[in-house]
Amino acid sequence: MGADHRILTGDTTVTPVKHVPFTTGDRIVGPDGLPFGAGVVTRKLYIDRNRTDLYTEDGSYSYPFKTIQAAINKVIANGDNHQDRPYEFDIAAGIYPENLILEDAKLVSLIWRGRGSRLQTQIKPASGLALRSNANNASFYDFHCENIQFSMPTEMTGAAAGNYFGYNFMFENCYWPSGATALFRNMTYPSFFGDWSKFSGGVTFSNITQTSVNNIGGYKTSAPSLTIETDEAANMPYGFGTGTAVLCSHQRTPNVTWSLLNIVAKTGTALQLRACRHGSAGETIPVNAQIIAYHSSLVGAYVVNGKLDLYDSFPSGSVSGPGTISIYQQAAHLKFTPAVGANWVDPDPANTQDAIDRIAAEVVLLKGGPIT
């Protein structure tokens, strides 16, 4: 970095001042000594890897960081990140060849916004992880990550038992393309949403208190794999109930790979579906696992060793097995209007429940005994 040239605006000088030439890297600073036009907004940091000119990076609009990790390090160095003092990263479109690491107790609340679409801002290192947070993250509560593509794998694992890691994590319109796996472990409430979010590299949720996965990829394409894991021998996060809970809405979901390890008390690892199209070739639900389906279509045959709850939901194939199958679409709620009203003593049955009840009663009279 070169010299600072203090701007003299506002001075009422009676003494003439001599100026010196500028050289590359010199800065103009205001009366306060800060770079002119920079440092005004202290918790919004700009990152732009497209800038090729030389300057001292400070995260201002005029002097953005050229790497995201430099901005992360700046937050750590400032040491003032707090839940009510989040840092917002404004990340210009471009491909960032970085292995991003979020492992420092000083990281508490971050907002990342990729400019443009999630295809335009990519984290794409040559090897290794695009994003890692596996240590020193027990204080990392808030993370809103928007419009970013992680072109290599991501691993986020809460480092401590009973921690709040991921308490308010939101990934919006983020994309993991084919080959970029995503692993989220020992976290509280991470959520994923946005029409253009996709896990094309597959995703694993392990020991997650509850995760919402909404509208990811719509029905256009589905994630190639979804692994839901509960391991009682591993660290478990704050609020961990009966096992990992994954809530999916309005999307196409793949068959689940269930991983249930060292189960003693956590007997309710669950996938909840809301208006989803689930699976492609049927599924076996193991003991200690359950699928709860609301207004969803389940493709194929289901063998239930754990639990299957169907609320206005319909498997295309058979449903069998020794587990618990609960059907909540009632015959009483299906409207029935007789095609020939004369076949019925008035009043006509109004629904399927009434019709079957009355037919059954009539058959009992005609046949002289209960229906076998």
Partner 1 sequence: MTDRMLLTGDPSSTPQKHGTFAAGDKVLQPDGAPLFESMPTVGTHEMHVDKFRTDSYTEDGSPYRPYKTIAAALTYIRSVAVALQDWSLIIRTGQYTENVVLEDLGLLDSISLVGHGGIVGIVPAAGNSLQSTANNGNLKKLRLINIETTKPIVITGPNGGTGFSDVWLQDCKLNDAITLNCINSFSLMGCYLPVAISCTNVAWFYCDSANWGGTFSFKCDSTADAPSGGFDCTALLNGVYQTGAVTLTKVGTANGVVAVLGGSRINSSSGTIVVPSGWTLQAYNSFIRGNLTNNGTFQQRGAFVEKVFANAGTWTADTKSSMLAYTPSVAGNWTVQPATVQEALDMIAAKVGPV
Applying the rule CB under 8 A, the residues between 255 and 274 that interact with partner 1 are none
The verdict on 338 binding partner 1 (CB under 8 A) reads no
108-137 residues near partner 1, rule: CB under 8 A: 115-117, 119-120
Q: Where are the beta strands (DSSP E) in 42-114?
A: 44-47, 87-91, 94-96, 100-101, 109-114
The verdict on 195 binding partner 1 (CB under 8 A) reads yes
CB 151 within 8 A of CB 119: no
Separation CA 265–CA 241 (nearest Å):
9
The verdict on 348 binding partner 1 (CB under 8 A) reads no
81-100 residues near partner 1, rule: CB under 8 A: 92-93
Give the closest residue to 45 by CA, choosing from 26, 73, 25.
73
Toward partner 1, which CB reaches closer, 281 or 371? 371
Toward partner 1, which CB reaches closer, 155 or 312? 312
Toward partner 1, which CB reaches closer, 138 or 301? 301
Collapsing DSSP states into helix, strand and coil, what is residue 272? strand
The verdict on 74 binding partner 1 (CB under 8 A) reads no
CB 299 within 8 A of CB 278: yes
The verdict on 356 binding partner 1 (CB under 8 A) reads yes
Q: How far is the CB of 84 from partner 1 (least distance, A)?
A: 24
Q: Based on C-alpha coordinates, what's the Rg of the chain?
A: 29
| Given 331, 337, 338, 341, the residue binding partner 1 (CB under 8 A) | 331
| Given 297, 348, 349, 350, the residue binding partner 1 (CB under 8 A) | 297
Give the closest residue to 256 by CA, choosing from 221, 217, 308, 204.
204
Q: How far is the CB of 328 from partner 1 (least distance, A)?
A: 7
The verdict on 361 binding partner 1 (CB under 8 A) reads yes
Collapsing DSSP states into helix, strand and coil, what is residue 89? strand
Collapsing DSSP states into helix, strand and coil, what is residue 352? helix
Separation CA 201–CA 254 (nearest Å):
12
Site stretch for partner 1 (CB under 8 A), options 102-110, 230-238, 240-248, 295-303: 295-303
Site stretch for partner 1 (CB under 8 A), options 67-75, 153-161, 253-261, 305-313: 305-313
Q: What angle do CA 332, 335, 337 make, to 5 degrees?
A: 125
- What's phi and psi for 109, nearest 5 deg? -145, 115
The verdict on 275 binding partner 1 (CB under 8 A) reads yes
CB 234 within 8 A of CB 259: no
Site stretch for partner 1 (CB under 8 A), options 127-135, 159-167, 330-338, 342-350: 330-338
The verdict on 343 binding partner 1 (CB under 8 A) reads no
Separation CA 271–CA 311 (nearest Å):
14
CB 349 within 8 A of CB 336: yes
The verdict on 4 binding partner 1 (CB under 8 A) reads no
User: In this structure, what token pair is assigned to residue 229?
Assistant: 């894991």
40-59 residues near partner 1, rule: CB under 8 A: 48, 50-53
User: In this structure, what token pair is assigned to residue 180?
Assistant: 């970029």
Separation CA 191–CA 93 (nearest Å):
24
| Given 67, 99, 212, 352, the residue binding partner 1 (CB under 8 A) | 352
Site stretch for partner 1 (CB under 8 A), options 70-78, 232-240, 254-262, 329-337: 329-337
227-256 residues near partner 1, rule: CB under 8 A: 250-251
Site stretch for partner 1 (CB under 8 A), options 105-113, 134-142, 258-266, 312-320: 312-320
The verdict on 327 binding partner 1 (CB under 8 A) reads yes
Torsion of CA 97, 159, 227, 274, to 10 degrees: -100
Toward partner 1, which CB reaches closer, 26 or 155? 26
The verdict on 345 binding partner 1 (CB under 8 A) reads no
Separation CA 278–CA 248 (nearest Å):
10
